[in-house]
């Protein structure tokens, strides 16, 4: 029995070893296949990683390009909006310009009407001024004529006063001469009497001759003053008369 057992064990060990070798060969083969597949997978993974990096780079570039395009689109939108606004402003400016033209035409017509009105008023005022100037000239002529008549009367009055003063002056000069002659005669008579008395009073210190001479001189000075006053009055009247005549001539 022991022999059978040992034989059986040997048989089993032989079978197991062959199977193990076979299994190992299969495993080694699978490992080789797996290693090849892993290498292929590594290569594919590397290729996929490269492709991923390329795609990521392209994605970044695409994002940048999209951002650039987005900015361009926003810029274009702003430009379109600005142009639209400009178009609206241009239309508004055009409407305002048309309104300004209409207002300018209205103001121009109003200005022309005002000028025509002012010209008409100026013409009316000019006619009124002409009439007023004519009336003033006539009034001035009347006043000048009246003033000339008054001046003429005044001149005649002054000439009459001068004539009367000249006559009075001549009369006073004659009276002065007559009085001087009379005083001279009286003086001569009194001098003769004084000389007679002087012979009777030889010691008298005051000469009667000198007393009468001083009195005569005083009277003559008084008369000369009166005549000088009259002459100055006549001269003043003649000057006034001359000035009045000159102003009348002007």
**pLDDT tens, 188-204?**
777 677 667 655 545 44
- 3-class DSSP assignment, residue 1: coil
Rg (CA), the chain: 79
* Residue 250 in tokens: 């002007």
Selected residue with higher pLDDT from 216 and 72 = 72
Q: Does residue 202 sit within a domain?
A: yes
Read off the tokens for 194. Answer: 């004084």
pLDDT at 67 over 70: yes
Q: What is the pLDDT of residues 3-28, one digit of tens each?
A: 555 554 455 455 577 777 887 778 87
Residue 63 domain-assigned (yes or no): no
Backbone phi, then psi, for 201, in 5-degree steps? -120, 80
**pLDDT tens digits, 99-156:** 988 988 898 899 899 999 989 988 998 888 889 888 988 988 888 888 888 878 887 8
pLDDT, position 204: 47
Whether the per-residue pLDDT at 87 is higher than 50: the answer is yes
Q: Is the pLDDT assigned to residue 158 strictly greater than 60? A: yes
Question: So what's the pLDDT on residue 8?
Answer: 47
3-state SS string for 53-77? HHHHHHHHHHHHHHHHHHHHHHHHH
CA–CA separation, 123 vs 116, rounded Å?
10
247: nearest Cα among 159, 137, 160, 144? 144
Q: What is the mean pLDDT of residues 202-229?
A: 68
Q: Tens of pLDDT along 89-99?
A: 888 888 888 89
pTM of the model: 0.32
Asked if residue 74 has pLDDT above 70, the reply is: yes
Question: Does residue 205 carry a pLDDT above 60?
Answer: no
Q: Is 155 within 8 Å of 241 (Cβ atoms)?
A: yes
* CB of 162 closer than 8 Å to CB of 234: yes
pLDDT of residue 247: 61
Mean model confidence pLDDT for the chain: 78
Any domain includes 191: yes
The contacts of residue 208 (CB under 8 Å, 6+ apart) are 190, 191, 194, 197, 198
Stretch 164-184: mean pLDDT: 80
User: Is 155 part of any domain?
Assistant: yes
Contact call for residues 162 and 237 (beta carbons, < 8 A): yes
Structure tokens at 21: 């070798």
User: Where does the pLDDT of residue 248 fall: very low under 50, low under 70, confident under 90, or very high at 90 and above?
Assistant: low
- Tell me whether residue 162 is in a domain: yes
In a domain, 30, yes or no: no
Structure tokens at 63: 């994002």
187, pLDDT greater than 80: no
pLDDT for 57 beyond 60: yes
Asked whether the beta carbons of 231 and 169 are under 8 A apart, the reply is yes
Query: Structure tokens of 158?
Result: 């002054």
Provide the residue range defining the domain that includes 211. 147-249
Which residues neighbour 190 within 8 Å (Cβ) at sequence distance 6 or greater? 208, 212
C-beta neighbour count of 241 within 10 angstroms: 19
Domain count of the fold of the chain = 1
């Amino acid at each position: 029995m022991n022999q059978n057992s040992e034989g059986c064990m040997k048989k089993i060990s032989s079978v197991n070893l062959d199977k193990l070798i076979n299994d190992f060969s299969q495993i080694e083969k699978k490992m080789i296949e797996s290693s090849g597949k892993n290498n292929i997978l590594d290569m594919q993974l590397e290729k996929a990683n490269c492709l991923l990096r390329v795609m990521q780079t392209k994605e970044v570039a695409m994002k940048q390009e999209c951002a650039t395009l987005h900015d361009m689109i926003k810029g274009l939108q702003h430009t379109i909006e600005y142009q639209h606004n400009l178009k609206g402003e241009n239309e508004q400016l055009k409407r305002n310009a048309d309104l300004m033209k209409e207002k300018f035409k209205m103001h121009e017509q109003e200005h022309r009407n005002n000028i025509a009105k002012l010209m008409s008023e100026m013409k009316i005022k000019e006619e009124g001024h002409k009439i007023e100037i004519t009336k003033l000239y006539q009034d001035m002529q009347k006043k000048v004529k009246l003033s000339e008549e008054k001046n003429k009367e005044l001149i005649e009055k002054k000439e009459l006063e001068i004539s009367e003063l000249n006559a009075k002056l001549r009369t006073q000069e004659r009276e002065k001469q007559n009085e001087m002659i009379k005083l001279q005669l009286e003086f001569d008579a009194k001098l003769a009497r004084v000389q007679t008395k002087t012979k009777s009073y030889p010691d008298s210190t005051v000469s009667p001759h000198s007393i009468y001479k001083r009195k005569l001189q005083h009277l003559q000075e008084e008369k000369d003053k009166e005549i000088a006053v009259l002459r100055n009055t006549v001269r003043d009247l003649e000057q006034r008369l001359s000035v009045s005549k000159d102003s009348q001539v002007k």
